Amino acid sequence: MAHAIPPLQPGHRVQLLEGSRELFPAMVGAIDEARSEVRLETYIFDFTGTGADIAHALERAAQRGVVVLIVVDGVGCPALPASWQHRFDRAGVQWRVYSPPGRFGLLWPGQWRRLHRKLCLVDGRTAFCGGINILDDFHDPLQGPLEAPRFDFAVQVNGPLVADVLDTMGRLWLRMQAARSLKDARLSSAFESLLAAGVEGEDEPSPPLHDAASQSSATLVLRDNVGNRGRIERAYRRAVWDARTEIIIANAYFVPGHRMRAALLGAARRGVRVRLLVQSRYENFMQYYASRPIYGAMLHAGVEIHEYAPSFLHAKVAVIDGLWATVGSSNLDPLSLLLAREANVLVEDPVFAGDLRARLVRAIAAGRQMERAEFERRPKLQRVLEWVALIAMRLALAFQGKKYL
């Protein structure tokens, strides 16, 4: 079935990583131990601050003969800095740009179908997945230095789903190689062999993780425009409908469709405590205003809405009933759920879920709860801007051949 959610499998070691300050050292450590291959996909690759630590690790790996394959999005990372282009070329790092925008940019139909997932795979044994770009926690490409770190998560995984990460990343790379007329047929053939047989040394034990890692059931859930069009949203909805006591969702761009809204409202009305952690800072017009029109019904049903205050919220995570959790790249908005390539990891494990829940509760406490009465008194100008943003989003999606909300 095209939209069936992959079943969770036991036998995983899943480590929660908060921000680049936890993710990047783990990635650098894994890359520095790589013997065969490192694959990386990201929306943004920024070389400022600790982002350069990842670049240096990839360069070192390639210099010692490890195959290093990087794919970045053509909008999120349109150009590789000239100095790093030279260094990567000299080391043998292979850099590809997914769907570079043409002369009409994002105005051309199909150009909103971006590579938004963040995946890294080392030697076919250790995978990283989440919402964190290769971007320093304290740096914003548009606004410069940040006073407080960006709030986001990723996971480090060993176990059965790593084979799905290899298959996913390998297929995209081969597709992009084909688009380049298979200029390096020998390398493409090698990758096909990897997909069929796995990398050398696969039977060796996985590298140890921190003591906090636990045995978890987990699965990789994708969203693309071929066979995985609705899987991430369906996974969310199923978990929300099954919730009995508590739902906590942290989402940077929260504009859910009517079915997801119905699931959340239904949960709140049957007594489930539903808490949403959303963005409070202005990033762009549609992101900031388009989500507001749906808040009224949520607040009326008893959903708690908390705005993250310390810095930018970039997380795309959820915890339900202290057992089910998801960490990934997919927002609950039309760009993620209808257009972009996304990847989330689903986890069932009380230890992992408890760790994520505790971090989200602390973030909620550091924010500001939206009050229903105050929301209903918001100025008329703000209401107008909200509906303008929502209509603009619908029109933009219609131009891309999609209908939402």
DSSP annotation of 108 reads: S
What distances in angstroms separate CA 219 from CA 42, 43, 56, one per listed residue? 20, 22, 31
Name the catalytic one among 12, 46, 73, 118.
118
- The answer to whether 116 is a known catalytic residue is yes
- The answer to whether 403 is a known catalytic residue is no
Question: Which token pair is 328?
Answer: 């990934």
Q: Which stretch of DSSP H or E encloses residue 238?
A: helix 231-242
Question: Which token pair is 259?
Answer: 């079915």
Name the catalytic one among 46, 53, 73, 123.
123
Distance of CA 21 to the CA centre of its chain: 17
Q: CA-CA distance, 346 to 325, in Å (whole number)?
A: 6
Name the catalytic one among 136, 314, 333, 355.
314
- Give the three-class secondary structure for 159: coil
- The answer to whether 306 is a known catalytic residue is no
Largest alpha-carbon pair distance within the chain? 65
Residue reference for tokens 């978990």 = 239
What residues pair up with 40 in beta bridges, in sequence order?
70, 120
Q: CA-CA distance, 101 to 112, in Å (whole number)?
A: 9
Instruction: Compute φ and ψ for 18, nearest 5 degrees.
Output: -105, 120
- The answer to whether 316 is a known catalytic residue is yes
Parallel, antiparallel, or unpaired: how do β-strands 139-140 and 144-145 relate?
A: antiparallel
Name the catalytic one among 316, 333, 349, 355.
316
**Pick from 44, 50, 202, 213: which is nearest to 121 by CA?**
202
- The answer to whether 402 is a known catalytic residue is no
Name the catalytic one among 32, 140, 164, 321.
321
Name the catalytic one among 12, 116, 139, 306.
116
Residues ≥6 apart with Cβ < 8 Å to 235: 5, 221, 326, 344, 346
Q: Are 81 and 305 in contact (CB under 8 A)?
A: no
What distances in angstroms separate CA 74 from CA 99, 103, 157, 171, 338, one per listed residue? 5, 13, 27, 18, 18
**Pick from 87, 15, 81, 101: which is nearest to 58 by CA?**
87
- The answer to whether 314 is a known catalytic residue is yes
What residues pair up with 139 in beta bridges, in sequence order?
145
Q: CA-CA distance, 181 to 238, in Å (whole number)?
A: 42
- Catalytic residue numbers read 116, 118, 123, 314, 316, 321
